[in-house]
């Protein structure tokens, strides 16, 4: 593998899938820029893997602009920041939760991709969007998150269409149930409810997704993995 210290930006890198991506990429020779809101956690991980921690909220237009202006070169962008809030039926939908899900998952991915696009094109780069099975399959109570992740999927496909003849590759990786803080966030800190999501099941671990990201990013420039659906063996 000859990465020659190429630069990877990973959003939402302070925990879970983002942290696992950062660790897997660093182990494969990438220089990783870890971006997230929780700077203290980021700095600890960055120190362990020889990466760089930058505090960033992907819902903040100006912060994303500033981040990209200061970054310079970028070979790989992993749009991982996102998540779910609530599991309400549509008739009980909480508009604030929906706004947050759209702003983080969809617009966050858009802001980062748009801002880093010049650097990525310059580098013959790669964008990996972390979507979800929820962006393919709707489920009861999932509407806000389903809509957001379907939005990410649509954006990934359009970006692929718009850049297939440019020096940029685009991949979307869609995990199923991964045992992370995802459910704690969805259920707004209700630990018992979050625990029940994973109890007694063959859950994916964040490292499984980190390994997929590492592999996609390790492929030669003529190979584009368009989409990848990764499920725990007992989830269909």
Which residues carry out catalysis? 145
Least Å distance, CB 194 to ligand 8X3, is 11
* Contact set with ligand 8X3 (CB under 6 A): 132-134, 175-177, 182
What distance in Å separates the CA atoms of residue 103 and residue 109, rounded to the nearest whole number?
9
The dihedrals phi and psi of 196, each to the nearest 5 degrees, come to: -65, -25
If the CB atoms of residues 53 and 178 are measured against ligand 8X3, the closer one turns out to be 178
Whole-Å CA distances, 62 to 18, 19, 66, 83, 112: 22, 24, 6, 21, 11
What distance in Å separates the CA atoms of residue 170 and residue 155, rounded to the nearest whole number?
10
What distance in Å separates the CA atoms of residue 9 and residue 35, rounded to the nearest whole number?
7
C-beta nearest to ligand 8X3: residue: 132
If the CB atoms of residues 56 and 133 are measured against ligand 8X3, the closer one turns out to be 133
If the CB atoms of residues 99 and 141 are measured against ligand 8X3, the closer one turns out to be 141
What 3-state DSSP class applies to 28? coil
Least Å distance, CB 206 to ligand 8X3, is 12
What ranges in the chain are assigned the alpha helix state H?
A: 16-27, 39-49, 61-71, 95-101, 108-122, 143-163, 182-186, 191-198, 206-218
Max CA separation in the chain (angstroms)? 53
If the CB atoms of residues 68 and 105 are measured against ligand 8X3, the closer one turns out to be 105
Least Å distance, CB 52 to ligand 8X3, is 27
- In 3D space, the residue among 229, 161, 232 whose CA is nearest the CA of residue 203 turns out to be 232
Least Å distance, CB 134 to ligand 8X3, is 5
Least Å distance, CB 216 to ligand 8X3, is 18
């Amino acid at each position: 593998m000859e990465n020659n210290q190429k630069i990877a930006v990973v959003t939402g890198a302070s925990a879970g899938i983002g942290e696992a991506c950062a660790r897997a990429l660093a182990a494969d020779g990438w220089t990783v820029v870890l971006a997230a809101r929780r700077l203290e956690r980021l700095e600890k991980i960055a120190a362990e893997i020889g990466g760089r921690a930058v505090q960033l909220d992907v819902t903040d237009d100006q912060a994303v602009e500033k981040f990209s202006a200061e970054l310079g070169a970028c070979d790989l962008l992993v749009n991982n920041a996102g998540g779910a809030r609530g599991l309400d039926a549509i008739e009980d939908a909480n508009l604030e939760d929906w706004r947050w899900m759209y702003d983080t998952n969809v617009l966050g991915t858009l802001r980062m991709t748009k801002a880093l696009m010049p650097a990525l094109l310059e580098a013959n780069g790669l964008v990996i969007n972390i979507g979800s099975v929820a962006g393919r399959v709707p489920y009861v109570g999932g509407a806000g998150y389903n809509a957001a992740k379907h939005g990410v999927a649509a954006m990934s496909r359009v970006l692929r269409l718009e850049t297939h003849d440019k020096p940029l590759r685009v991949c979307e990786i869609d995990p199923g149930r991964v045992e992370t803080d995802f459910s704690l966030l969805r259920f707004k800190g209700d630990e018992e409810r979050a625990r029940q999501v994973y109890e007694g099941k063959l859950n994916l671990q964040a490292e499984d997704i980190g390994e997929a990201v590492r592999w996609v990013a390790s492929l030669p420039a003529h190979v584009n993995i368009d989409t990848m659906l990764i499920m725990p063996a007992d989830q269909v």
